[in-house]
């Protein structure tokens, strides 16, 4: 009789133990699921907050405004200065430095002087960059370039100022406009605008980073772009008084 009682007691204990183990497993799985869901919610919240922060700091000038045009000119200048040829080196940068050092100051150069230099290397590099960025889809990344595209002003012929929206140019890959459009764009910059480049920190040829921005009489815009060598290696940054390096600041004179 005693043996039977002991057997039943052991059996009950095993059953209780199994139930406890099962409850622990269920509880553990429930906690794990809650932790995963909580982690996913935190990551999703951080992603949303990050996008909100970028949107809040994004002060890009609207298409068609003077500020937008100036941002594009500064942008193309920076891209031209970072062009490199494995044989000849960066001729555009050499031309830029020659015009800069041949002027009256070491930190201001007129855009017209650059585009009309006897060397012509900077003008050629600038035209090449225009040929690429006149395509609204070029380097289509969030904040990696000013709004819209680099385009000539409307000459009053109803062609939407070379906007590239017609079917022929929209289907192209690479430059959106014929080479003559670059000359139209450059000639407009020389003849219709009084632009100059201000270099608040001077210019260091050794530095492979160039920051482009623009400022008007009515507006000090903190919209700026950090350029490094290589296609599309550009990021949007907020310009501050503490920003260092080669800063290409386009302004009117």
The single residue listed with the structure tokens 């045009």 is 69
| CB contact at 8 A, 112 and 27 | no
Q: Give yes or no for a contact between 143 and 233, defined as CB atoms under 8 angstroms apart.
A: no
> Which domain range does residue 53 map to?
1-57
**Tokens 């070029």 — which residue?**
138
CB atoms < 10 A from the CB of 214, how many? 29
Is 151's pLDDT higher than 80? yes
Q: What's the chain's length in residues? A: 253
Domain end residue (candidates: 57, 83, 103): 57
How many Cβ atoms are within 10 Å of 21's Cβ, its own excluded?
10
Give dist(CA 30, CA 42) in Å, integer. 18
* pLDDT band at residue 6 under the 50/70/90 scheme: low
pLDDT at 60: 83
Interval 216-240 mean pLDDT: 80
pLDDT exceeds 90 at position 69: yes
Mean pLDDT of 19-24: 61
Q: How many CB atoms lie within 10 A of CB 4?
A: 8
Round the average pLDDT of the chain to a whole number and report it: 75
Do 52 and 108 belong together in one domain? Answer: no
pLDDT at residue 139, as a whole number: 82
Rounded Cα distance between 145 and 129, Å, is 13
E runs forming strands in 11-134:
108-110
Does 78 lie in the same domain as 131?
yes
| 221 vs 121, more confident | 121
Based on the structure, what is the number of domains in the chain?
2
Residue 57 has pLDDT above 80, yes or no: no
In whole angstroms, what is the distance from residue 68 CA to residue 77 CA?
Answer: 14
In eight-state DSSP terms, residue 105 is S
pTM of the model: 0.69
Residue 205 contacts residue 214 (beta carbons within 8 Å): no
Q: How far apart are CA 157 and CA 204, in angstroms?
A: 43
Tokens of 84: 């490199």
Q: Are residues 16 and 94 in the same domain?
A: no
Q: Are residues 234 and 119 in the same domain?
A: yes
Same domain, 218 and 93: yes
Percent over 70 (pLDDT), the chain: 62
Q: Are residues 242 and 122 in the same domain?
A: yes
For residue 37, the tally of other CB atoms under 10 A from its CB is 10
Task: Decide if pLDDT at 50 tops 50.
Answer: no
75-84: pLDDT as tens digits: 999 999 998 7
Alpha helices in the chain (DSSP H): 2-57, 66-81, 91-101, 111-115, 121-133, 167-170, 179-192
134, 163 Cβ separation under 8 angstroms = no
Q: Which of 10, 26, 57 is the last residue of a domain?
A: 57
The answer on 123 and 70 residing in a single domain is: yes
Residues 53 and 68 in one domain: no
What is the residue-wise DSSP string for 209-252? -EEEEEE-SS-EEEEEEEE-SSTT-EEEEE--TT--SEEEEEEE
The answer on 188 and 82 residing in a single domain is yes
Does one domain contain both 19 and 87?
Answer: no
The H or E element that residue 234 is part of is strand 234-238
């Amino acid at each position: 009789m005693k043996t039977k009682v002991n057997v039943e007691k052991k059996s009950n204990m095993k059953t209780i133990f199994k139930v406890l183990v099962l409850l622990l497993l269920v509880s553990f799985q429930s906690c794990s699921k809650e932790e995963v869901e909580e982690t996913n919610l935190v990551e999703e919240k951080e992603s949303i907050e990050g996008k909100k922060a970028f949107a809040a700091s994004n002060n890009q000038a609207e298409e068609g405004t003077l500020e937008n045009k100036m941002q594009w000119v500064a942008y193309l200048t920076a891209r031209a200065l970072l062009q490199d040829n494995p044989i000849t080196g960066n001729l555009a940068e050499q031309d830029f430095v020659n015009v800069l050092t041949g002027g009256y100051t070491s930190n201001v150069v007129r855009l017209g002087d650059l585009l009309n230099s006897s060397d012509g290397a900077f003008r050629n590099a600038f035209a090449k960059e225009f040929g690429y960025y006149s395509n609204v889809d070029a380097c289509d990344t969030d904040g990696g370039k000013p709004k819209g595209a680099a385009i000539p002003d409307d000459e009053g012929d109803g062609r939407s100022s070379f906007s590239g929206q017609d079917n022929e140019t929209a289907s192209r890959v690479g430059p959106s406009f014929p080479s003559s459009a670059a000359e139209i764009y450059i000639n407009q910059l020389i003849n219709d605008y009084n632009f100059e480049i201000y270099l608040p920190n001077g210019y260091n040829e050794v530095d492979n980073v160039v920051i482009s921005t623009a400022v008007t009489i009515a507006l000090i815009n903190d919209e700026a772009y950090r350029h490094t060598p290589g296609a599309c290696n550009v990021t949007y940054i907020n310009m501050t008084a503490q920003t260092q390096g080669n800063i290409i600041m386009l302004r009117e004179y």
